[in-house]
Amino acid sequence: MDGLEQILVFGDILSRLASYVPAVIAAALLMLIGWIVGKIIGKITKSLLIRLKADRYFKFGRGFEVSNIFGLIVSWIIYLAFIQAAVQVLGVPALTEFVGQILSFVPRLLEGMIIIIVGYILAKYVQGQVIATKVEYSEFIARVIFFLTIIIVISLALPFFGIDPYLINNIILILVGSVGLGIAIALGLGLKETVTRLAKKYSKKL
């Protein structure tokens, strides 16, 4: 290859690179706008949930406040939408398909999270109602009900995350059986005197 051909090849490479510059700049601008918009909307979502006192009603532990979680989710939905637009501008099919698959997973992720949150609220409500009865071992029974409810809720939510719930369903069956057997043994042995005392107490009332 002589010097002229080398210059032509080099010029062709520069020409192709130059043709990508406008697309790269446009993609970068889209991602910057998406980052700004995502940050703003995420903060607005977080502030709104804080004003609604969502963190007080849904307690998942320190650092896992509902306002933080949903603010972050909203921000990332916007980020991904702008990233997809930026990738489409670049015209890279593989990247476009990859980002599209991620975005298609987001609705299922939200549905699964909603199921978990609603299930958690229900479990907490039932737990509080059982404890409020103030019967013998109400706190223990409430904890067992809460634990089993959460496991069932997670089992219902797993398919939305693309996870087969077969294993956790088997765990639920084992736990339910174990709890039932444990209660039966406790009633037969450990709670024998308590049951007798309660039976006498109620028989006197009748």
pTM: 0.55
- Model pLDDT for residues 82-135, shown as the tens digit of each residue: 888 888 887 777 777 777 777 777 778 888 888 887 888 788 888 888 888 777
CA 82 to chain centre: 22
Token digits of residue 61: 């532990």
Q: What is the mean pLDDT of each run of 10 residues along the chain (206 residues)?
A: 56 61 81 91 88 71 72 85 81 74 78 82 82 77 82 83 73 69 60 62 59
Residues 116 and 46: their CA atoms lie apart, in Å, by 19
- How far, in Å, are 13, 140, 172, 199, 200 from residue 184 at the CA level? 79, 15, 18, 17, 20
Residues 102 and 97: their CA atoms lie apart, in Å, by 9
Residues 149 and 151: their CA atoms lie apart, in Å, by 5
Sorted by sequence, the CB contacts under 8 Å of residue 127 that are 6+ apart come out as: 142, 143, 145, 146
Q: Which domains does the chain have, with CATH numbers?
A: 1-91 (no CATH), 107-206 (1.10.287)
